[in-house]
Structure 1
Amino acid sequence: MRPKRFRDTTRIGPVHVASFYDRRGRDKHTAACTAPRCGFSAEYDSRAAAELAARTHTCNP
């Protein structure tokens, strides 16, 4: 399996938002928190949803 190639990455607070193509060639978006011991990450179909999740994410590591 090939690793995901992320593009158009941005950072909103501790959360990174990036776009990538899945195995079927569909455009997907991910949001992942980089705070220690947080563990938040999710994939979305739209960039707006990923950015909204990044803006509203609160973590208590």
Structure 2
Amino acid sequence: MSPRDHFHSVMRIGPVQIGTHRDRRGRTKYAAVCTADRCGWSSDYSSSSAAQLAARTHRCRISD
């Protein structure tokens, strides 16, 4: 039986939220998720520093 996959928010950098969750094998992963309307960008990383770098360099392609 696999562990439950819950997202736990760790920090916020601009519109991007970084948190942890467990993958299907039970390993802790770091996710960077943009919370801007209609952006939809998200990605998983194996380290917190990689997720933070992605959050700092993310640019939404949504034009108003």
Question: By the TM > 0.5 criterion, same fold?
Answer: yes
Distance 1:59 1:22 in 2: 26
Structure 2 regions of 5+ residues with no counterpart?
Answer: none
Give the TM-score taking structure 2 as reference length: 0.81
Number of the residue aligned with 2:14: 13
- Alignment root-mean-square deviation, CA: 1.9
Count of aligned positions: 61
Percent identity, please: 51
Number of the residue aligned with 1:35: 36
Structure 1 regions of 5+ residues with no counterpart?
Answer: none
Give the TM-score taking structure 1 as reference length: 0.84
Larger radius of gyration: 2
